[in-house]
Amino acid sequence: MTRLTPLRLRSPGTVVLVVVLVLLFLLPTVSSTFFVDFVMARTMMLGLAAATIVFLSAYGGMISLAQLLFFGIAGFMYGNAVLESGARGLTLGWPGWVSIVFALVVTTVVALLLGALASRTTGIYYLMLTLVYGVIGFYVFAQVVPISGPGGVTSIPRPEVLADPVRLYYAGLVLSVIAYVGFRALSVTPFGRSLQGVRDDPVRMASLGFNVPLHRMLAFTLAGFVAGLAGLLNVWWNGQIDPASIGIGPTLTLLIIAVIGGMSRFEGAWVGAFVYLVANNYMRDLPLVDQLGITEARFNTIIGLLVLLIMVLSPEGLVGIFEKARAWWQRATLTPTTEAASTATTSTGVGRSGPPATADDPAADTAARSDTVAHDSPREGTDR
Amino acid sequence: MMHTTRKPRWLTMVSSVAALALLVSACAGDDTTDSADTTPEATEEDGEETEDPDTEGDETAEGGDVVRLGILGQCEGPFGGFHEDTVAGVTLAMINEAGATSNSPDTALDGWSGAEVAGTSIELTGIACGDDTPDTILGEVRRLVEQEGANVVIGPLSGDEGIAVAEYAAENPELTFLSGIAGSQEPTLEVQAPNYFRFHGDGAQWNAGLGDILFNEEGWETAAVIADDYSFGHTSTAGFVADFCGVGGQVTSRVFPPLGTTDYSSFIAQLPDPDEVDGYFWAVGGTGTQAALEAFVNAKGDLNGEQHAGNLFFNPGLASALGPDIAGSYVGGFASLPGDVQTPEIQDYLASADAAWDTLAGGVTGNEPADPSAAASFGFMYGYYSAGIALIEGLRAVDGQIADQAPLQDALANLTLDLPYGEVSLDENRSGIIDTFVQQLVLDGDEVVAETVAIIPDVTQAFGGTFSEDTPPPSRDFPTCEERDLPWEGNAIPVVDGVPQQ
């Protein structure tokens, strides 16, 4: 799965992304304000946060449950800084831009410190440690009344320039595009390549002289910063934040979003967020579902079943299903000569060189061999 | 080893159909929004149309001048068991006063049909599913208003939710909000949204007079407090502390477990032992009440009812798990009254609930089907019933005009409701001025029941000057424990065998 590569401007995948991007920019002109504000704007902010989970997982081999903490820290810090009066928070009354910078600096510094602490752990220990970060964060904000307390910080104003819900959506879209392109571009930088090396074989990388903990710490810090951006969008959208916003439930929800979309491609983060939000908002409107006992009270059950279904269909999430569908389509449309060449290639088990017609498209390359090597390796198809 | 794994095609089909159905629903939701736009601009347009008397009847027929009512329930979280109660309360109001009929004989969640006041229909637009968190209820109220087109909202149920909804109300003055039974102080005293109305008291008001009785009649001089660490727990504690300390008592310890805690042992350990304090005040609610008391028994020995008092969640049902030792406890008031007080109005109200449904699976009966009057007699359903009655009375006062809601809001602010459990009027912040009924759990044979022991009349949110918009909201350490003059000190009206002695 060579998804984590820089964008190739002339590849079909890039063309599709550009088309999707154009559609997303045009969406507010054809869709209701509710859909833009309630589904798409939140898709952008949750997708942005989930993309940091994908980034850490795909580039660094680290599955983090602390990303919602940074999402929350940015929101709490912004609320404390920008509010001028009220019974909750520090009410520092700082200007909006100063508050934004303050929130992001605090979030990034906390991510740096926590990343340093976690940089020598891997696997299940890393997962548990970041879960502990999330739980500690919840209790810190719940217990330290001056900055939040159990009731949280309320009446947080949105910057005037983003007062229009459509503008907030565009802000989320622009930040999402920047993060997407940036993460993809990072894969070919020296840091990105060495980080992937750390993911694949940390012992070898250390023996080659790379500072493995430093790479992990910096990746964690970058992910924290991006999650902080998403947190700012969220607090502007919601107008309030409280400890329950970053509790264990929402923390797992963010991971579920990443899993639904697929942890192997950045697009999966936004796809997962979109599916989650559409299900959350519209599931109860499906005809006859209430007669099946599926009410709003059963939403978590439905999401759980949805995750199970996706896992059964494609461990790579919805994006993996799209990839398989595309591979099926390409196989169905291959000429006999090309198909023979493809079969000969995949039968070697190497699979690095796909059919000549798709040699420039890493995704197609992956798709062509996905059905044969999909379960031989936990990182099948990943760029090494 | 290479192998090929193929997924069953039916799975792909099922998932594709599900995804398509969701997308179709999304599109349908957009259509609904378009036809029931509640943006201020849309509301103004409605108002302009309604001013033309020639078209008024048509508008009603087309749904232009209709109350599109959204209900904020709570189907998850510590109070998720009371979801049915919340909708049932509003539905019963529609049945009793607006000519509606229930759509189901055994659940209120199916809504009602045929509600109309002064020619204006009241349609159930949607039921929100809260989980006791502000984030969720804010998302739900926005969905009801911005997607489903609700122009009047009844709810929410719980404290922090109330603050979030009141702030949303302040941002949307063209809509009208009636609190369900959210008992935190801030929605009215701090936020003061002019279109948010609360026809019930708050957690502090419901505990008025309790400290006076415990100090002066039961001899408590010191007390420890354990309460949920959120706005309603804080407000409940504030009422007890202000009252108990106001008459001379001392609160020596305050412990605040997070809402939703399941293991209370570490918090119980922070409380003084029974021989170190005269009594305990409990404001741990929902699913936590029983768990907290059981943890107390495990850590500090058997309950001695006379050493305990609690807010509304201290109910006779606890005896089924904790035994009769809980008898003797004093309990703060709530929106409704214990069964020992019966008036014709109360009897009519309870009978109307039994007539509306065959059974209801309310929270009081553990969500098991039971006589609807069981749910109706408890404050959750009654609070929502009161809000529904307020809406109906408000509509009557403005002759059903809903296009411009300012007159409706003016009418609501000046309403005095003659409700089954007593009159309720509103203060200047549109919060209820109520009579509080102090109760005690007593043994009736082998059964533990609640009995009314005193009435504290005309309790306001200001709590005898203790709270105002200039004081901090109730918190873990506010109010401080100090003597203060309270208007009801020594003036509680005793109740004997369900009969007020004055």
In angstroms, the separation between the Cα of residue B1 and the nearest Cα of chain A is 7
In angstroms, the separation between the Cα of residue A22 and the nearest Cα of chain B is 20
In angstroms, the separation between the Cα of residue A46 and the nearest Cα of chain B is 14
Domains of chain B, first to last: 66-201+342-430 (3.40.50.2300), 205-334+435-500 (3.40.50.2300)
What does the pLDDT read at residue A289?
A: 67
CB-CB neighbors (< 8 A) of B236 in chain A: none
Q: Are the beta carbons of A371 and B258 separated by less than 8 Å? A: no
Q: Cis before residue B457, ω within 30 degrees of 0?
A: no
Identify which of B6, B134, B259 has the shortest CB distance to residue A240. Answer: B134
A373, part of any domain: no
CB-CB neighbors (< 8 A) of A282 in chain B: 22, 25-26, 28-29
Q: Are the beta carbons of A244 and B134 separated by less than 8 Å? A: yes
Q: Are the beta carbons of A376 and B6 separated by less than 8 Å? A: no
A240-293 pLDDT tens trace: 999 999 999 999 999 999 999 999 899 999 999 999 999 888 877 776 666 666
Q: Which residues are paired to B425 by β-bridges?
A: B416, B433
For chain B, how long is the longest CA-to-CA vector? 90
What does the pLDDT read at residue B356?
A: 97
Helices A212-238 and A41-60, packing angle to 10 deg? 170
φ/ψ of residue B112, rounded to 5: -135, 170
In angstroms, the separation between the Cα of residue A116 and the nearest Cα of chain B is 30
Q: Are the beta carbons of B143 and A281 separated by less than 8 Å? A: yes
Identify which of B15, B22, B230 has the shortest CB distance to residue A313. Answer: B15
Identify which of A32, A371, A372 has the shortest CB distance to residue B34. Answer: A32
Q: Are the beta carbons of B29 and A281 separated by less than 8 Å? A: yes
CB-CB neighbors (< 8 A) of B230 in chain A: 150-151
Identify which of B22, B30, B163 has the shortest CB distance to residue A35. Answer: B30
CB-CB neighbors (< 8 A) of A152 in chain B: 134, 160
Q: Are the beta carbons of A239 and B15 separated by less than 8 Å? A: no
CB-CB neighbors (< 8 A) of A349 in chain B: 2
Write the CA distances from B463 to A81, B323, B410, B489, integer angstroms.
Answer: 33, 35, 25, 12
What does the pLDDT read at residue B29?
A: 43
Q: To probe the interface with B, which of A34, A254, A319, A329 has the most B CB atoms within 10 Å?
A: A34
CA dihedral B260, B265, B269, B275 (to 10 degrees): 100
Chain A's closest residue to B76, CA to CA, is A297
A180, part of any domain: yes
Q: Are the beta carbons of A35 and B476 separated by less than 8 Å? A: no
CB-CB neighbors (< 8 A) of A314 in chain B: 7
Indicate the SS3 state at residue B206: helix
What does the pLDDT read at residue B76?
A: 87
What does the pLDDT read at residue B416?
A: 96
Per the structure, the complete domain to which residue A282 belongs is given by 12-289
Which residues lie closer than 8 Å to B31 by C-beta, 6 or more apart?
Answer: none
How far out from the chain centre does Cα A365 lie?
Answer: 24
In angstroms, the separation between the Cα of residue A363 and the nearest Cα of chain B is 19
A366, part of any domain: no
What does the pLDDT read at residue A7?
A: 65
Q: Are the beta carbons of B109 and A38 separated by less than 8 Å? A: no
Report d(CA A368, CA A324) in Å as an integer: 9
Identify which of A151, A313, A321 has the shortest CB distance to residue B230. Answer: A151
CATH code for position A168: 1.10.3470
Q: Are the beta carbons of A239 and B138 separated by less than 8 Å? A: yes
Label each residue of chain A as H, E or C.
Answer: CCCCCCCCCCCHHHHHHHHHHHHHHHHHHHCCHHHHHHHHHHHHHHHHHHHHHHHHHHHHCCCCCCHHHHHHHHHHHHHHHHCCCCCCCCCCCCCHHHHHHHHHHHHHHHHHHHHHHHCCCCHHHHHHHHHHHHHHHHHHHHHCCCCCCCCCECCCCCCHHHCCHHHHHHHHHHHHHHHHHHHHHHCCCHHHHHHHHHHHCHHHHHHCCCCHHHHHHHHHHHHHHHHHHHHHHHHHHHCCECHHHHCHHHHHHHHHHHHHHCCCCCHHHHHHHHHHHHHHHHHHHCCCHHHHCCCHHHHHHHHHHHHHHHHHHCCCHHHHHHHHHHHHHHHHHCCHHHHHHHHHHHCCCCCCCCCHHHCCCHHHHHHHHHHHHCCCCCCCCCCC
Q: Are the beta carbons of A278 and B22 separated by less than 8 Å? A: yes
Q: Which residues are paired to B153 by β-bridges?
A: B70, B177
Give the count of beta carbons closer than 10 Å to the beta carbon of residue B53. 7
- For the ranges A113-127, A157-171, B9-23, which has the lowest average pLDDT? B9-23
Angle (nearest 5°) at CA A64 between A58 and A68: 120
End-to-end CA distance of chain A: 10
User: pLDDT band at A338, cuts 50/70/90?
Assistant: low
A141, part of any domain: yes
B205-217 pLDDT tens trace: 999 999 999 999 9
φ/ψ of residue A73, rounded to 5: -60, -45
The residue ranking higher by pLDDT, A128 or A366, is A128
What does the pLDDT read at residue B1?
A: 39
CA atoms within 13 Å, Cβ hemisphere of A327: 21
Q: Are the beta carbons of B26 and A281 separated by less than 8 Å? A: yes
Chain B's closest residue to A370, CA to CA, is B4
Q: Are the beta carbons of A286 and B476 separated by less than 8 Å? A: no
Q: Are the beta carbons of B473 and A240 separated by less than 8 Å? A: no
Q: Are the beta carbons of B164 and A240 separated by less than 8 Å? A: yes
A175-212 pLDDT tens trace: 999 999 999 999 999 999 999 999 999 999 999 999 99
What does the pLDDT read at residue A334?
A: 72
Indicate the SS3 state at residue B257: coil
A374, part of any domain: no
Q: Which residues are paired to B370 by β-bridges?
A: B360
In angstroms, the separation between the Cα of residue A382 and the nearest Cα of chain B is 17
Report d(CA B167, CA B186) in Å as an integer: 10
Type of residue numbered A74: A
B179-206 pLDDT tens trace: 999 999 999 999 999 999 999 999 999 9
Segment A350-359 mean pLDDT: 35
Q: To probe the interface with B, which of A237, A291, A296, A346 has the most B CB atoms within 10 Å?
A: A296
In angstroms, the separation between the Cα of residue A240 and the nearest Cα of chain B is 8
In angstroms, the separation between the Cα of residue A283 and the nearest Cα of chain B is 6
The mean of the pLDDT values for chain A is 84
> How many separate domains does chain A show?
1
ipTM, interface predicted TM-score of the complex: 0.78
CB-CB neighbors (< 8 A) of B39 in chain A: 33
Report d(CA A119, CA A128) in Å as an integer: 13
The residue ranking higher by pLDDT, B297 or A87, is B297
Identify which of B2, B75, B127 has the shortest CB distance to residue A372. Answer: B2
Chain B's closest residue to A234, CA to CA, is B135
Q: Cis before residue B479, ω within 30 degrees of 0?
A: yes
Chain B's closest residue to A296, CA to CA, is B129
Report d(CA B371, CA B361) in Å as an integer: 9
- Regions of chain B short of the pLDDT cut 70: 1-64
User: pLDDT band at A369, cuts 50/70/90?
Assistant: very low
pLDDT at A11 over 80: no
pLDDT at A161 over 80: yes
Global confidence as pTM: 0.83
CB-CB neighbors (< 8 A) of A150 in chain B: 160, 229-231, 256, 258-259
